[in-house]
Amino acid sequence: MSISNNQLKNQHLLWRAAFGPMAENVNELPDVSQKDLHKILVKTSSKKLEEFNVATNLLDGLVKGIQDVGMMQKLTRDQRKVLRKQSVEDIKNLNLTWLNEMINSEAQMREKMSLFWHGHFACRVINIYFQQQLLNVVRENALGSFGDLLREVSKTPAMLSFLNNQQNKKQHPNENFAREVMELFTMGRGNYTEHDVKEGARAFTGWGFNLQSEFVDRPFLHDTGTKTFLGKTGNFDGDDIIDILLEQKQTAKFITQKIYKYFVNDNIDNDKVEKLSEKFYQSNYDIKNLLHDIYTSEWFYNDENIGTHIKSPVELLVGIRRLIPMELAKPETQILFQRALGQVLFYPPNVAGWPGGKNWIDSSALMLRMRIPQILTDMDNFVVKPKDDDDTMMGMEGVDKNTRPQQINSTIDWDAVTKVFDKIPRENLMQKISDVVLQTRDKIDPAILNKYVDKDARDGFIKTTMIELMSTPEYQLS
């Protein structure tokens, strides 16, 4: 694989900083520099955010803080059942709304970074208002200051509820929130003591939310005593704790390592991370600057970093739909794919989020991954055996319980795809399609590919070659 290939480098940037190339833009990639393409990605992601608002009127005015114990006790059993069912349904709609934004939005860098933070600040609550509010906070701050993002996320009802800080009160401190803020959000395990956890929990006492899904600092529940946290002593509150955590260079290093692993390579280069994290710290945690330092470096485009990232299920689904424009008759089938492949948006497996990397791949997941391009383009059928756990099912119990094959009806704009290759001679078509679809060093043997493609019509050849290439193990890598 020649690293001098400008198109390959640009596709690399689009797969890591975004969700892969769109069909309509593929032919522009050989003629633009990586720095100019990066500038375009930054510019299109700097436009004013349009917040998601998918909650239905059924919930409006009835209750927003359904996790609040006092409010739940006032509701009848039937009311609680209706609320839970509607919230689950709306979270499914939020899932599809965000997925559609990833596919079609010009703000590709913002949405890709938001997906990263969605896993970093993993949160699982069955409350549409909480989830929607948290996602909007993440998307608003995805490319801004990590300090602002951390503080705003920490004050969302979603996170306060998920990590039990609503129950964190003086004389009865709950350590869950304080522990996870240090272990998962900022410094990483091994960089604080159990004493720091206890003192941090005392500082966060009183942080909670009201029935309007608004953050509230309840002074009558706050421990006003002196605390000693990470070597500092004072009458600290939650904001003080966050300030102290941001003063630690370990926080900058922990975040930089995680970003490097996610966007560059699973194998971390410690020297590069040290330099990046130092600049990140000195910039007051400017996320956009950190990404600039990565995406405009020469080493980012080194051979060992291209075609080595295993796509997450969401990256896989979104990437296919960007390169092959399509409309699905039943968009909710994309949630079935997410479930089957192990990444349902808003349903992380635990507080640590999705582990990623090789964890995405086992024998059954790989087989389904390789069938998805054919399923989406009506060339194959799809069978899913749902689990009975309603949390995992997202309220879809009873849906598709039969295991009869079902076809995914889609309308595909093949003209947009075939147009990409209009000027390519027939004898060079397979190589050109392969260059667009695959990022790996190893290309598929044309002799093998020729056995499965339509060799009669030019359009048929392009369609089938593209689908067959997307149905390979090599396409799972970006």
Between 181 and 378, the more confident residue is 181
- Nearest-angstrom CA–CA distance, 278 and 16: 22
Indicate whether 469 pLDDT > 60.
yes
Write down the residue that tokens 């399923």 correspond to. 375
What is the pLDDT averaged over residues 373-398? 60
- Nearest-angstrom CA–CA distance, 345 and 314: 8
pLDDT of residue 58: 47
One-letter amino acid for residue 343 of the chain: Q
pLDDT of residue 155: 98
Indicate whether 33 pLDDT > 80.
yes
Average pLDDT value over all residues in the chain: 90
Give the global pTM: 0.93
Indicate whether 56 pLDDT > 80.
no
Percent share of the chain, pLDDT over 90: 79
User: pLDDT-derived band of residue 443, with 50, 70 and 90 as boundaries?
Assistant: confident
What is the pLDDT averaged over residues 69-96? 78
> CB under 8 Å to 289, separation ≥6 — which residues?
279, 280, 283
Indicate whether 415 pLDDT > 90.
yes
The length of the chain, given as a count of residues: 478
What is the pLDDT averaged over residues 253-261? 98
The string of pLDDT tens digits covering residues 285-328 is 999 999 999 999 999 999 999 999 999 999 999 999 999 999 99
Helix 333-341 to helix 313-323 angle (10° resolution) is 140
| CA dihedral of residues 18, 22, 27, 28 (deg, nearest 10) | -40
pLDDT of residue 404: 57
Angle, CA of 107, 119 and 23, to the nearest 5°: 35
Residue 222: closest CA among 161, 170, 173, 167: 170
Q: Is the CB of residue 366 less than 8 Å from the CB of residue 476?
A: yes
What is the pLDDT averaged over residues 102-114? 98
Residue 292: closest CA among 8, 42, 20, 26: 42
pLDDT of residue 343: 97
